[in-house]
Structure 1
Amino acid sequence: MHPVVLAAEVHIRFVGIHPFCDGNGRVSRLLTNTVLMQHKYLPMAVPQIRKHEYGRDLDIAHGDGNHLPFTEFIAEMTLMTHRDYMRMLRIPEPERERDIREIKA
């Protein structure tokens, strides 16, 4: 399983069991980033302006079992965050970003 797909699955499953009264989203995002970092990806972020889309795609994953929209969303956020880091550090696009784009293709 591709690391970004695995990270999305961990996120979906953790939120699905909802083990805490508060903080499930924050913990699931930490777990998602832990998976990414274990596979040598940078941690990803979801900008405030995209939170609605994040919630909608997560609801779709839990509602009808279609994980693809959320997985694509996580892939897009990972790619976007990587690009932001690379731009700030003036580093050319690495091979790994092309791998992320393949998930969305």
Structure 2
Amino acid sequence: MTAPEPEALDARVLDHLNRVVESRKGADPDTSYTAKLFAKGPNKIAQKVGEEATEVIIAALAEGPDKVVSESADLLYHLSVLWAQTGVAPEQVWAELARRFGTSGLEEKAGRAPGA
């Protein structure tokens, strides 16, 4: 993956990441880890998201801030691959986050369907 320009080293880096991930669909799995994940399918991608989430938790509880940063980057990458695999555009996630602004987290959670 090519690095974004230095002036884009803020939240826009996620947009760059998502474009790169999308570009790896159909690429050669022998030359791209992302393409290899796509080739293995949604079950493997979802498994990797779960593994990375667990690693973030472990880092937060036992390994310190630097490891939380590293594992969080891994989680965001794998989440980006999962979104691409399932047809979710990052803009849909950003819109959902924006929709929730101004709403108490307790109110938002209470408004969900049971079990959600």
Task: Give TM-score, length-normalised by structure 1.
Answer: 0.30
The structure with higher relative contact order (CA 8 Å, sep 6+) is 1
Larger radius of gyration: 2
